[in-house]
Amino acid sequence: MTQVGKILVLIIMAFSLIFLGTSTMVFMTSKNWRDATRKQEEEVKKVKNQLSTEQAKLAEAKKNLEDAQAAATTATKALSSRIQTLEDQNKRDLAQITEVRKNLEVANQSARSALEEVDARRKETTLLREQKSAVEKQANEYQLRQADLNDKIRELERMLGTATKNNSDLREAVAKYTTLLQRNGLPTDIAQIKGVEAPPPVTGEVTKIDPTNKRAEVSIGADDGLVVGHPLYLYRTKPRAEYLGRVEVIAVDPDQAVVRVMGSTVQGKKIKEGDIVSSSIIPRF
């Protein structure tokens, strides 16, 4: 029975007592009031007994209610403690979730960076493989070239051996010819020997004259084929063409030479800058 039910029972019993009291008063004013009173007293006793029983039940209900309230208070405290514990746990879980989310974001960023690095490494690996293939191809070509070069080296070594032998033979022959030339009173200088040969077809100008008028510098030299001993003709073109004489090359540089008048000039004429020296123009006498 609930608390409200018990209160309603008490109210009903109170109204019952009131009703009994009223009934008793009515019966006392009527006939046979004694019997009625006796009956009413018996009823009152019953009601009192019932009231005692209900009061005992009410006391028990109160006690049960107090026990239930105490148990509820205890349970409420336990639930409050549990709720606080759960709230604290939720806070810790939320903090942990937040931290995990941050770590997850960092991990995602790291994963993206790692993927980008892996992609870059993959591209680099592909490039290195292509370079390796090119290098291997080039190495194969170098090996083929090396084989060809080794063949050429062997051929050149054979040619060098032959040339060395020929050089040795030539040195021996030159030594013999030098000895022979010396015995016959001939010069052994190759330049002097070439000087007795005909000079190449060249033409140049006098650029500088010695104060004695016996030597002059000309604008042609070894690059033009001149050597010491080559004879040249000396003439002038202005104001009129005239032959001056012959000169001989006595010193040679790549782009110039020094000549010396052979004998004397025609009629002792002075050499001038701009006069012509030539090997191919032979003047008419």
User: What CATH number does the domain containing 256 carry?
Assistant: 2.40.10.340
| Residue 40 CB contacts under 8 Å (≥ 6 apart), including other chains | 20, 23, 24, 27
User: Up-side HSE of residue 80: CA atoms within 13 Å toward CB?
Assistant: 6
Position 182 in a domain: yes
The full length of the chain comes to 285
Mean pLDDT confidence for 149-171: 82
Do 171 and 222 belong to one domain?
Answer: no
Q: Residues 269, 244: contact at Cβ < 8 Å?
A: yes
Least confident range from 9-18, 102-111, 181-190: namely 181-190
Q: Which residues of 197-231 are buried (b: 16+ CB within 10 A; e: fewer)?
A: eebeebbbebeebeeeeebbbbbbbeebebbbbbe
Q: What is the pLDDT of residue 90?
A: 86
Q: Model confidence at 285, in pLDDT bands (50, 70, 90)?
A: very low
Last residue of a domain, one of 143, 165, 188: 188
pTM of the model: 0.35
Residue 104 shares a structural domain with residue 172: yes
Domain shared by 79 and 143, yes or no:
yes
- Over residues 218-228, the mean pLDDT reads 94
Q: 52-65 in b/e burial notation, b at 16+ Cβ within 10 A? A: eebeeebeebeeee
- Name the 3-class secondary structure at 215: strand
pLDDT digits (tens, 9 = 90+) for 237-271: 888 889 999 999 999 999 999 999 999 899 889 99
Model confidence at 184, in pLDDT bands (50, 70, 90)? low
In a domain, 78, yes or no: yes
What one-character DSSP code corresponds to residue 273? T
Alpha helices in 184-220 (DSSP H): 190-195
Give the domain-ending residue among 121, 156, 188. Answer: 188
CA triplet 164, 195, 232: central angle to 5 degrees?
145
Task: Among 188, 207, 233, identify where a domain stops.
Answer: 188
pLDDT tens digit sequence for 2-14: 776 777 778 888 8
Provide the pLDDT confidence category of residue 28 given band limits of 50, 70 and 90: low
Q: Considering its fold, how many domains does the chain have in total? A: 2
Question: Are both 229 and 174 inside the same structural domain?
Answer: no
SS3 10: helix
**Which amino acid is present at 110?**
S
Q: Is residue 38 part of a domain?
A: yes
Count of other CB atoms within 10 angstroms of residue 259: 27
Instruction: State whether 25 and 141 are in the same domain.
Output: yes
- pLDDT over 70, % of the chain: 86
CA distance 218 to 226: 11
* Domain-located, residue 65: yes
Give domain status of residue 27, yes or no: yes
Q: Give the H/E segment covering residue 174.
A: helix 33-183
Domain of 171, in residue numbers: 1-188
The residues facing 258 across adjacent strands are: 217, 251
Regarding whether 104 and 84 lie in a shared domain, the answer is yes
Q: How far apart are CA 206 and CA 254, in angstroms?
A: 16
Residues 125 and 150 in one domain: yes
- One domain, residues 143 and 220: no
Within-domain flag for 285: no
In a domain, 193, yes or no: no
How many CA atoms lie within 13 Å of 147's alpha carbon, on the beta-carbon side?
A: 5
pLDDT computed for residue 125 by the predictor: 87
The tokens of 52 are what?
């005692």
| 91 and 183, same domain (yes or no) | yes
Pairing of strands 242-252, 257-261: antiparallel
> Rounded distance, CA 178 to CA 190, Å?
11
Provide the pLDDT confidence category of residue 190 given band limits of 50, 70 and 90: low
- Mean pLDDT across the stretch 184-195? 54
123 and 213 assigned to the same domain: no
Residue 213 domain-assigned (yes or no): yes
Indicate the range of 15-19, 205-209, 229-233 predicted with least confidence: 15-19
Residue 177 — pLDDT band, cuts 50, 70, 90? low
Looking at the structure, tell me whether residues 177 and 251 fall in a common domain.
no
Please tell me whether residues 45 and 156 are part of one structural domain: yes
Residue 259 β-bridge partners: 216, 249
